[in-house]
Amino acid sequence: MPRHSAEPCVFCIFGATGDLARRKILPALFTLHTQQKTPGCLVLGVTRTAEIDDAKFRDMAVEALTAEKLPADEVRRWADAALFYQPINNGTPDDFRALSDRIAALEKEHQVPGNRAFYIALPPQAFPDTIAGLAAAGLCRSSGWTRLVVEKPFGRDLESAQQLNAIVHEGFQESQVYRIDHYLGKETVQNLLVFRFANAFFESIWNRNHVESVQITVAEELGVEQRAGYYESAGALRDMIQSHLTQLVSLVAMEVPSDMDADAIRFEKVKAVRSIASIDPDEIVLGQYGAGEIDGQPVPGYRDEPGVAPDSNTETYVALRLEVDTWRWQGVPFYVRTGKRLPRRLTEIVLSLRQPPVSLFEPFDACRLSSNTLVLRVQPDEGFVLTFDVKAPGDPFRLATEPLHFGYHEAFGTIPEAYQTLLLDVIEGDQTLFVHADEVEASWKLYTPVLKSPRPVVPYAAGSWGPPQADGLLRGPVRWRNP
């Protein structure tokens, strides 16, 4: 997307000592600083802890960033010059007024022109009070720009998402709101727009006439780890399908935007999500991992993980079949799946192309055609593979399927981490890769009926590709791609 210059600002992180801030937000801000992309950016950490001051927060940040293998000397210089701390205590009106005063003092001391970003890196239950507190203290406006960054999950269902949007819009305009989904910051996801709309070959086949099916897989090797407190009340449908995977569906299914600005792209994404037909209860499979092996090592089942109820019925795997009721995609199934404790970490989009209407090679032995497939790999090894059939050399006459490969790392070396891209977009004011209020509600409208009418949760072994019942969702010759 077109870049605007980054102006000096105060970047406030609520939950600044939490895991997300330590592993993602602070390293991304430091890297942007070292790349000289965020001149004059001050970072103000905000938590409820009154025992922390500027010096202690800086020490904590240095420890966290050096643990991420970032250069200690540069980290220390940045921390001492740009990092500050302000406790929010119990989040009373006086606490938010004190926060406002501290921001104003930093702006005056460091000549920052009233530009402010508020990143809510807190548990979801803290979103409403924090956002309302900012608005009540007048922190939703300033002499410069003000932007609100909200992590997922944005609500638990349609009703709660609508309520949270109402709270947000009481103080902030939609043009100020950045609902963050880190998958949208990945270079390969962004490249979907370029891949489709800058290449006549791909856009010409991107429709029901040439595409037989679409598969989207987000697989994780890890289990629930230390997130049981959150995951037990969320599950894979809320945690992954409603957000990450639906975003990928919208980017694949969207129509050509009128131009490449944020509003035009988000408008087409919302249209795509609204075009997804109601989900048939028979077209969804829920699973929960049991004990098994990953890379030859035994791992426990979900119910044996710390913090998980011994009789938990929370799904760790979801597979479903979606229909996009548009002219472009009518009759093309979208197969979507995600799961924990699968054999490998993988995110990819697979378009299976239709076979020729007549096979000229059936009379020859060993000449069974395979569908051409276009595989867009989001992680790891970002890039794409296009498979096609060729004649194998020699006799007898036979066909072989070969790949045409492109890898981002091979072409460009190291690519930016997702949070670097997204945080720079926040500071520069580009909403293209962020989720609009209408998009959130359209997605929850699709999945809330499923949440209210739960399906049985079937077991699968850790290290497998999920429950075998997921195979029953597939139609015709299509098979799950399990690389």
DSSP 34-92: HTT-STTEEEEEEES-TT--HHHHHHHHHHHHHHTT--HHHHHHHHHHHEEEEE-TT--
How many CB atoms within 10 Å of residue 481? 15
**Coil, helix or strand for 170?**
helix
What is the 8-class DSSP label of residue 281? G
Q: With the C-alpha atoms ordered 235, 240, 242, 245, is the resulting torsion angle positive or negative? A: negative
Residue 342, amino acid: L
Residues 121, 151 contacting (CB under 8 angstroms):
yes
| 428 SS3 class | helix
Task: Tell me the chain's radius of gyration from C-alpha atoms.
Answer: 24
Return d(Cα 261, Cα 259) in angstroms, integer. 6
Query: Which residue do the tokens 């639906």 mark?
Result: 246
CA 103 distance to own-chain centroid: 30
Instruction: Specify the amino acid at residue 202.
Output: F
Structure tokens that stand for 430 in this block: 């580009």
The residues annotated with a catalytic role in the active site are 244
Query: What are residue 119's DSSP bridge partners?
Result: 13, 149
Q: With b meaning 16 or more CB within 10 Å and e meaning fewer, what string describes 8-37?
A: bbbbbbbbbbeebbbebbbbbbbbbbeeeb
In the chain, the N- to C-terminal Cα span, in Å, equals 32
Six token digits for residue 25? 């937000």
Task: Of 481, 461, 182, give the one whose Cα is nearest residue 316.
Answer: 461
Compute the distance between CA of residue 214 and CA of residue 251 in angstroms, rounded to an integer. 12
CB atoms < 10 A from the CB of 331, how many?
9
Reading the block at residue 377, the tokens are 């790999």
- Cα separations in angstroms, 375 against 188, 215, 320, 411, 483: 12, 9, 19, 17, 11
